[in-house]
Amino acid sequence: MKRLLLLVSVVIGIAVLRADDVPFDFEVLQYRAKSLAARPYTARPNRVPEALRKLSYDQYRDIRFNPDAAWWLRDQLPFQLQFFHPGFIFNKTVQISEVAQGESELIRYNKNLFNFGANRDLGSIPEDMGFTGFRIHYALNNPDYLDELAVFQGASYFRALGRNMRYGLSARGLAINTAEPGGEEFPVFEEFWVERPVANAKQIVVYALLDSPSVAGAYRLIITPGQSTIMEVKVALYRRKDVAVFGIAPMTSMFWFGENSTEKHDDLRPEVHDSDGLLIERGSGEWLWRPLVNPKSIRVVSFSDDNPRGFGLVQRDRRFESYEDLEARYNERPSTWIEPIGKWGSGDVRLVELPTPDETNDNIVAFWVPAQLPPIGEPLKLEYRLHWFIEGQGGRKPPAGYAVSTRIGRSHTNETDLIRFWVDFDGPYLNAQKSARDMSANISVGAGATLVHKNLEKNLFNGTWRAAFALRPDGSGRPVELRCFLQKPPHILTETWTYLWNP
């Protein structure tokens, strides 16, 4: 018996030694996510002291990270980290570790990392409190200055910049039950690991452990900054239970009003939005463009597909005159594009549009919903590239023509019951066409209205082509699905513009 107990102790000791010796990588993180999902969900304890949670907005704003304490600053590495302090409403903390040569080491909270301004008596703060997130700095625009490149803070939200961009829309790790009657579940990145970059690194690698009542998951993001910043994302997700909506690669944006809005907002600016449309490249090669709206009630639309080639929320209009905003600079905010790696199978790209009274709320969400999920306990594994780009620089425009504006109005003279649409298309081939000979606008009108007349005309001032058409609603009040593209049989000349008009 003594020999048996000794043998068991030796075996356990070897197992522990081997577990400690295993280098940190994605497979180790994936195993941790699997083990986490096999247990009932338990919310992590709140480590933020009451004194920090009671801070006012202005008091919290007075706490700033000390740039001289940036992680890797003293080592003069090409990337640096700065951390966000807990307090006010930011009381959900995360643990952040550095990974070097396969070994991970926790980055502990330290008061010396921050300037507290007028905040003098905050009491005792535990070393294991953690941070509420972090940002990555890199010489994105100037070799002598490290700009903000990316930010990870709040639930599973993160956002990034390419060259000469300003923050706008966000990405997320996962969307659960978005716009469902029972309410949305927000999975949380509980822990991060960031690989220490080498002296001449052009990329930085971030790992994240996600957890929520319904799912646990492992993430790896290889971030390559540039004119368009690209994140190569690898994911392994383990469900604890079934959910109504399982949203992959979600993007969250804001659309208050645009050129297609008919409401008056008493605002100097002609348009206010971070994105103006959803762009999809279907597995068949067809391109779809769906202009965004600020609806009066929640709208959800799905675009079914097999093995999509890509989709994204896009800020297509880049003219300053469209926004006239010297502070927010909506014309400089990035678009995002999801490029699947490998085949994603059947499913749908889902667009959720929520009503918003102003520009302070994100009200647009887009994501991929797989038609089938693995059994509970088995992983859903997938990879994709997430592009942060500006239209015309990231190669995300359709090869043919594309819609550049959507306008809606009513007849006020004759035929006052008509609803009129003007959709402008642009593109090199279209610009070169001098007349509408053999060209036409192919327009489809769903139930709820009839097409009364249509016209296609070249805009001699900027070279675009305008498809103008009028509808007569049938009085039922039903939303009307519209589609339009330009053609020169047998060729299709543009992407398909698609729109849901509400009477």
3-state secondary structure (DSSP) of residue 393? coil
CB 394 within 8 A of CB 335: yes
H or E stretch covering 150: strand 145-153
pLDDT at 398: 86
In the block, tokens 């944006």 appear at 253
Average pLDDT over residues 410-436: 90
Average pLDDT over residues 252-270: 94
Query: pLDDT category, 412, cuts 50, 70, 90?
Result: confident
What is the tens place of the pLDDT at every residue in 56-101?
Answer: 999 999 999 999 999 999 999 999 999 999 999 999 999 999 999 9
CB 221 within 8 A of CB 204: no
CA 131 to chain centroid: 22
Average pLDDT over residues 164-173: 97
CB 412 within 8 A of CB 473: no
pLDDT at 92: 92
| Res 221 pLDDT > 80 | yes
pLDDT at 21: 59
How is the chain split into domains, by residue range?
143-389, 402-501
Query: pLDDT category, 6, cuts 50, 70, 90?
Result: very low
Would the CATH topology of 143-389 be identical to that of 402-501?
no
The phi and psi torsions of 147 (rounded to 5 degrees) equal -80, 165
> Distance between CA atoms of 387 and 337, rounded to whole angstroms?
5
| Res 366 pLDDT > 50 | yes
* CA distance to 82, 268, 271, 332, per residue, from 166 (Å): 18, 21, 17, 6
The phi and psi torsions of 98 (rounded to 5 degrees) equal -100, 140
Average pLDDT over residues 182-203: 97
> Distance between CA atoms of 119 and 109, rounded to whole angstroms?
17
Average pLDDT over residues 310-333: 97
Residues facing 229 on adjacent strands = 388
- Share of residues in the chain with pLDDT > 90 (%): 87
> Distance between CA atoms of 136 and 59, rounded to whole angstroms?
24
What is the tens place of the pLDDT at every residue in 26-43?
Answer: 999 999 999 999 999 999
pLDDT at 121: 84
247: region left, alpha or beta (phi > 0 left; psi from -120 to 50 alpha): beta
3-state secondary structure (DSSP) of residue 196? coil
Which residue from 97, 93, 127, 98 is spatially nearest to 111, judged by alpha carbons?
127
Task: Please report how many Cα atoms fall inside a 13 Å half-sphere around the Cα of residue 105, on the Cβ side.
Answer: 4
> Distance between CA atoms of 500 and 299, rounded to whole angstroms?
10
265: region left, alpha or beta (phi > 0 left; psi from -120 to 50 alpha): alpha
> Distance between CA atoms of 232 and 402, rounded to whole angstroms?
27
pLDDT at 304: 98
Which of 66-75, 110-119, 131-140, 393-402 is predicted with the least confidence, judged by mean pLDDT?
393-402
> Distance between CA atoms of 343 and 16, rounded to whole angstroms?
39
Whether the predicted model's global pTM rises above the 0.85 cut? yes
| Res 136 pLDDT > 70 | yes
Assign domain 402-501 one CATH number from 3.90.930.60, 2.60.40.10, 3.40.50.2300, 1.10.287.130: 2.60.40.10
Average pLDDT over residues 186-192: 98
Query: pLDDT category, 3, cuts 50, 70, 90?
Result: very low
H or E stretch covering 370: strand 364-370
Residues in the chain: 503
Alpha helices in 141-288 (DSSP H): none
Q: Hey, what amino acid is at 500? A: L
What is the tens place of the pLDDT at every residue in 387-408?
Answer: 999 987 766 778 889 999 999 9
| Res 384 pLDDT > 70 | yes
Which of 129-138, 143-152, 356-365, 389-398 is predicted with the least confidence, judged by mean pLDDT?
389-398
Burial letters 464-502, b for 16+ CB under 10 A, else e: bbbbbbbbebeeeeebbbbebbbeeeeebbbbbbbbbbe
Provide the 10 A C-beta neighbour count for residue 236.
Answer: 21
User: Nearest-5° angle of CA 452, CA 456, CA 460?
Assistant: 145
| Res 250 pLDDT > 70 | yes
* CA distance to 280, 352, 405, 427, per residue, from 400 (Å): 14, 27, 16, 7
Residues facing 306 on adjacent strands = 346
User: Nearest-5° angle of CA 86, CA 91, CA 95?
Assistant: 70
Which residue from 423, 426, 425, 421 is spatially nearest to 409, judged by alpha carbons?
421
CATH architecture for the domain at 143-389: Distorted Sandwich (2.70)
pLDDT at 49: 94
Query: Considering the chain, what is the average pLDDT of its residues?
Result: 93
Average pLDDT over residues 98-105: 96
